Amino acid sequence: MAALYTGLKNGGELYTPAYRPYFDTVRENLKKRVVVGMSGGVDSSLAAALLQEQGFEVIGITLKLWPQNCSARAEDKCCGPQAVTDARAVCDKLGLPFYVADEVETFQHEVIHYFATEYQAGRTPNPCILCNEKIKFGVLLKRAKLLGAQFIATGHYARVEMHPASSRRLLKRGQDPVKDQSYFLFSLNQEQLAHTLFPLGHLTKEETRERARQLGLKTAEKKESMEICFVPDNNYGKFLIDVAGITPHKGEMVDTQGKVLGYHQGIEFFTIGQRKRLGISSPRPLYVLALDGERNRVVLGEEKELATHSFMVERCNWVALAEPPEEFEALVRIRYKHQGCRARIKVQGNGQAQVLPLEPQRAVTPGQACVFYQDDQVLGGGWIQKPASPEWPAIPL
């Protein structure tokens, strides 16, 4: 690319004003080193290719997250051996150096342990967010710095921009509303965002695949997974027993008055809003309203009782705001597939905030992330605590 740029600049016929912006970008990025986290999928593959086109010195790294003999490993997911093979093939095609970094112990401590303990506490975890914060934009950034790289990059559909006045890094939605992944990135700090590139932020998924086809990348047609990468067949219960070591333990299933309706084998196997596989018969549909970790109880009730008017979030991370106002209104998303709702946010001390949806929200789930948006910009977010529940005098939570 450097030779191409020099040749065109020194009299090549294509170096015209129309081409100048592209080649100026190439010249600006020459000798800037970037480490791309290679998951073995089409997104990270094209991210590496686009950065190479833009003049970066690109290095591919796949993080090995599972022991070689782990029988529960998902073979075809981003932490499996096929991912390493595919990522290496793409780097070979592009002529890029490629490395595999062993982060088994870090992943076990930061992600798997969190995943299991959250379920044990009666919360429903979001391991993808923790994996981004601690592994993909934590460990990977440290390794990139050891390699002398100024940036890391991934195939996430999101955008990072710098505020012209404050120089603060802003996190924005990806242009593709279907693939936007900004929700999973809300916990990244300014240091991480300042050294991160999202080459696919302005592309749609189909544009990504088409460009990968044009480049002849092996992963162009590779099917993507919508499940948690380390849980084979999306079987959470089996994973929690076989890998996380959770032993089934009998507990009560009660209604909001404390009446015992049946028994279960562990609150870890349930989530808020669940209706199926409750294991009890009832003349009316019942839903999981709450999980009581201290008493090992599952609270059941009617669908209308899932509505929440107020809830707290903790461990808030403010992306766009160094100091948020005491109260403001924003669009909030309480889970990845949630379309968002308007809410008032009252900022409190100790990294907490109260969220007051303008309309009641169904199945607000402790342990999930609540992310605040203003148009396409992530203001910040936090982790959902127990919602303010109705009057359940016999069920202190």
Is 78 a catalytic site residue? no
- CA max distance for the chain: 85
Catalytic hit among 78, 79, 128, 131: 131
CATH superfamily of 248-301: Adenine nucleotide alpha hydrolases-like domains (2.30.30.280)
Record the tokens describing residue 276, joined without a space: 């199926």
User: Is 19's pLDDT higher than 70?
Assistant: no
Asked: is 307-384 a CATH 2.40.30.10 domain? The reply is: yes
CB atoms within 10 A of CB 120: 17
- Cα 256 to Cα 93: distance, rounded to the nearest angstrom: 60
- The whole-number average pLDDT for the span 246-267 is 92
pLDDT of amino acid 12: 35
CATH topology for the 31-233 domain? Rossmann fold (3.40.50)
For residue 315, which phi and psi values (nearest 5 degrees)?
Answer: 50, 50
Return the domain boundaries, the chain.
31-233, 248-301, 307-384
pLDDT in tens, 330-364: 999 999 999 999 999 999 989 999 999 999 999 99
Is 131 a catalytic site residue? yes
Q: Is the pTM of this model over 0.85?
A: yes
pLDDT in tens, 276-334: 989 888 889 999 999 988 889 999 999 999 999 999 999 999 999 888 999 999 999 99
pLDDT in tens, 118-173: 998 889 999 999 999 999 999 999 999 999 999 999 999 999 999 988 889 999 99
Q: Which residue has the higher pLDDT, 342 or 235?
A: 342
Average pLDDT, the chain: 87
Same CATH fold assignment for domains 31-233 and 248-301: no
Strand partners, 308: 361
Cβ contacts of 248 within 8 Å, gap of 6 or more: 241, 265, 266
pLDDT of amino acid 393: 47
Residue 266 near residue 248, CB atoms below 8 Å: yes
Record the tokens describing residue 372, joined without a space: 């605040």
The separation between CA 49 and the C-alpha centre of its own chain, rounded to angstroms, equals: 23
Residue 26 near residue 1, CB atoms below 8 Å: yes
Catalytic hit among 79, 91, 229, 370: 229
Residue 176 near residue 157, CB atoms below 8 Å: yes
Confidence of residue 76 (pLDDT cuts 50, 70, 90): low
Using a pLDDT cut of 90, give the percent of the chain over it: 69
